[in-house]
Chains A and B, each alone.
Chain A
Amino acid sequence: AQKITQTQPGMFVQEKEAVTLDCTYDTSDPSYGLFWYKQPSSGEMIFLIYQGSYDQQNATEGRYSLNFQKARKSANLVISASQLGDSAMYFCAMRGGYNQGGKLIFGQGTELSVKP
């Protein structure tokens, strides 16, 4: 069965510093995708970054990068130069192969607080 684990319920970071949010996954499917979403207090889920299981390079999107270590089954999110607006819940999610219907399995989330 597929599973996503986020072991950090809460994290604090000083403004302008970098922070790493951990995510490990478990799947027997050779083809899968890993996503990170941000959920501010308003509740809406905002798509941040995607990494495919066959991608050779780590994904980057602006201040977000994904540290993908396939052998360790980890897909950590790195946020550089943290801003106050980065304070939110962050969810790691995994999509299986096409026969999984594109549905996502989510971790429990990490609450990030950025201190001024």
Chain B
Amino acid sequence: DGGITQSPKYLFRKEGQNVTLSCEQNLNHDAMYWYRQDPGQGLRLIYYSQIVNDFQKGDIAEGYSVSREKKESFPLTVTSAQKNPTAFYLCASSPSGFPYEQYFGPGTRLTVT
């Protein structure tokens, strides 16, 4: 079955530690995205990548970093510079063709204390 996997489902970290969230897709999609969702809010774009070895900042990139070395993988690192890292993180991918609908993974809930 094709889809997007994110691991782990729940992640706990101490303040000051960097943490990397995994996102893998086997849909053969060119584009991948990372969103952050806070309680009662919509999704906000952190980073996106339209092609391997290239990525762009979204609306709230500060304190985050990404890499896109393989088409299937788009890991997100939450650095210690991110002031409020506790949130629900969703990864998505989309095909390069119209209408570019995005398909989402199950999400990772990160708690930093």
Contacts and interface: CB of A to CB of B under 8 A. Distances in A.
B31 A42 contact: no
B42 interface: yes
B81 interface: no
A50 B99 contact: yes
A100 B40 CA distance: 26
Given A43-B106, A43-B109, A102-B94, A33 B45 contact: no
Contact of B99 (A33, A42, A45, A103): A33
A15 to B, nearest CB: 25
A43 B107 contact: yes
Contacts of A107: 42
Interface string B62-106: 000000000000000000000000001010101000111111111
B60 to A, nearest CB: 12
A45 B106 CA distance: 8
A44 B42 contact: no
Interface string A97-116: 00001111111110000000
Contacts of B56: 101
Contacts of B106: 42-44
B58 to A, nearest CB: 7
A44 B109 CA distance: 11
A35 interface: yes
Interface string A50-64: 101000000000000
Given A91-B42, A102-B50, A103-B33, A44 B102 contact: no
Given A33-B100, A43-B109, A95-B100, A102 B31 contact: yes
B30 to A, nearest CB: 9
Contacts of A52: 98-99
A58 B86 CA distance: 39
Q: Which 8 A-B residue pairings sit nearest by Cβ, starting from the closest?
A: A106-B42, A45-B104, A102-B100, A43-B107, A106-B43, A44-B106, A108-B42, A33-B99
14 contacts: A4-B42, A43-B88, A50-B99, A52-B99, A95-B99, A101-B48, A101-B56, A102-B48, A102-B94, A102-B102, A103-B48, A105-B45, A106-B35, A109-B40
